[in-house]
Structure 1
Amino acid sequence: MTEIILEAERVTLRFGGLVANADVSLAVRRGEILGLIGPNGAGKSTLFNLISGTYRPTSGRILLEGQDITGLPAPERCRRGIARTFQVPRSFDSMNVVENVIVGGFVRHPRAAEARAAALATLDVVGLAHRADAVAGELTPPEKRRLEVARALATEPRLLLLDEVLTGLTPSEAKAGVELIRRVAERGVTVIMVEHVMEVVMPLVDRAVVLHLGRVLAEGRPADVVRDEAVIAAYLGERRRAA
């Protein structure tokens, strides 16, 4: 049986009377690409915030490689091997591209020269080496998404959370993004990805977890999930049933 790298056990997060996640339980296997899907407001990004340490759950717990990390802050979780991107790319726009990635490299390489070398190697992986000296604020939207991935990879994560990195891309850009995610997984990084582009994400992921109204609605192989009646009713709709 494949080793479990991350577990969420009955995780609930309340904001006053609003329940953002309710009794969410899932297990992520080392080396897999897990798709986290669902309609807007389903609680996907909230769950990412709980896993990465931005939020602390109201109840339940989160374990990384069997160790309870529920009470750990985000920087410590990063040091332990969890990295993430954001729906809206965040960069230090006045710094150049390699400097942005060096920020992530400092997590593992406290010396500037070592962090820079790691950053340049990471830019090569994501296809931005030719833009290393460009000012980050001048990048195109697809390049900014790759910069986010590069900065996260520079922390040398074991678990990478990708929040809609393929959203808003052209078909050719999305194809390149899929190839990048596969390369990341081939390097031994476990990936959880939130995505709305079903046609792109379903052939890519090993398993899918569907959230609806903050709860797990279904999980399993992509081919099984898209045929689940509850998923069709809540998310895909009758047009997708016909397809």
Structure 2
Amino acid sequence: MSQEILLQARQVTRRFGGLVANREIDADIRRGEILGLIGPNGAGKSTFFNLIAGALPPSSGTLHFEGRDVTRLPATRRCALGIARTYQVPRSFDSMTVVENVMIGSFVRHRGTAAARHAALEMLDFTGLSRQANTLTHQLTPPEKRRLEVARALATGPKLLLLDEVLTGLTPSEARQGVELIRQVRDTGVTVVMVEHVMEVVMPLVDRAIVLNLGEVLAQGAPREVVRDPAVISAYLGDRHAA
């Protein structure tokens, strides 16, 4: 796997009044990897995720994407550069068809309607939603809506894909299918960062993990190393994992 740094965060801090949600985070995202962003509730995962995506600006610190300073760029500009995301609660246009929803993403790269539709259909095929292309989005099942989120994000042509709890709430069978889809995304050359709570699903999937706790980086490294870290066991995994 390439060790080239795709996105670099240095001393990234985000304050909400007197609350420090992220404190002086240093993190590198390497091109071609699947990176897990994990930690207990309130650890600052969602805030850091939003800082990478451009939904929030950092209070201090810097973010560089492919060597370019994107610290103050809005989400739309970052999307054009190659950073796409999904949402924890799927955000679809329920009065539109599935393919029309994905076309919204493909218009980032394609000006014409025909080209945007063709690209959208390719992403629906990739994510296993081809049969639902002309279905109204409100008729999709919850797992299908999560796949729609992934398809629309991929339609923007990302280099970095941010997945916000796309495996949460799925049955074991659905989760296995989701894991396989994420691996397929990485195999196309897209770097993946995923926020998840289900350690049993995430750790076998990711190449590296960053553990946040109380807004700070608690540990980072290979999954096998992280789950054995005493600080991670104490703060997140619980004493039952100590053995």
TM range (shorter): over 0.9
Residue 194 (str. 1) matches residue 157 (str. 2): no
Residue number in structure 1 paired with 2:232:
231
Per the TM alignment, residue 241 of structure 1 is displaced from its structure 2 partner at its CA by: 2.6
The correspondence of residues 122-133 of structure 1 with structure 2, limited to 5 A, is 122-133=123-134
Deviations 1:143-188 (A, max 9, x none): 0000000000000000000010000000000000000000000000
| Separation (CA, whole Å) in 1 of partners of 2:210 and 2:3 | 18
Report the Cα distance in structure 1 between the residues aligned to 2:233 and 2:35, rounded to whole angstroms.
19
Per the alignment, in what secondary structure is the counterpart of residue 238 of structure 2?
A: helix
SS in 1 for 2:166: coil
Matched with 1:147 is 148
Q: What residue is the counterpart of 1:53 in the other structure? A: 54
4+ runs of 1 displaced by more than 3 Å? none
Q: Which amino acid aligns with 2:148?
A: L
1:100-152 deviations in Å (ceiling 9; x for gaps): 00000000001000000000000011000111011101111100000000000
3-state SS, counterpart of residue 40 of structure 1: coil
Alignment of 1:22-171 (within 5 A): 22-171=23-172
1:126, 1:46 → 2: CA distance? 27
Q: Which residue of 1 aligns with 2:21?
A: 20
Displacement, 1:24?
0.7
Secondary structure in 1 matching 2:242:
helix
Match of 2:6 in 1: 5
- Structure 1's unaligned 5+ residue stretches are none
Question: Could you tell me how far apart the structure 1 residues matched to 2:85 and 2:94 are?
Answer: 19
Q: How many matched pairs?
A: 242
Match of 2:205 in 1: 204
Q: Distance in 2 between matches of 1:241 and 1:116?
A: 52
Code of the aligned partner of 2:119: A
Distance in 2 of aligned mates of 1:205 and 1:104: 26
Unmatched 5+ stretches in structure 2: none
Q: How much is the aligned-residue C-alpha RMSD, in angstroms? A: 0.7
**Whole-angstrom distance in 1 between the partners of 2:161 and 2:103:** 18
Report the Cα distance in structure 2 between the residues aligned to 1:7 and 1:138, rounded to whole angstroms. Answer: 40
Kindly state the Cα deviation for residue 240 of structure 1 after the two structures are TM-superposed.
2.6
Give the % identical residues: 69
Matches for 1:165-180 after TM superposition, within 5 Å = 165-180=166-181
Q: Deviations over 1:6-52 (max 9, x none)?
A: 00001000000010100011001100000000001111111111011
Q: Distance in 1 between matches of 2:231 and 2:183?
A: 29
* 1:94 positional shift: 0.6
AA at the equivalent of 2:211:
V
Distance 2:3 2:41 in 1: 31
Paired with 1:48 and 1:151, the residues of 2 have a C-alpha distance of 18
Which whole-Å CA distance do the structure 1 matches of 2:3 and 2:23 have between them?
A: 27
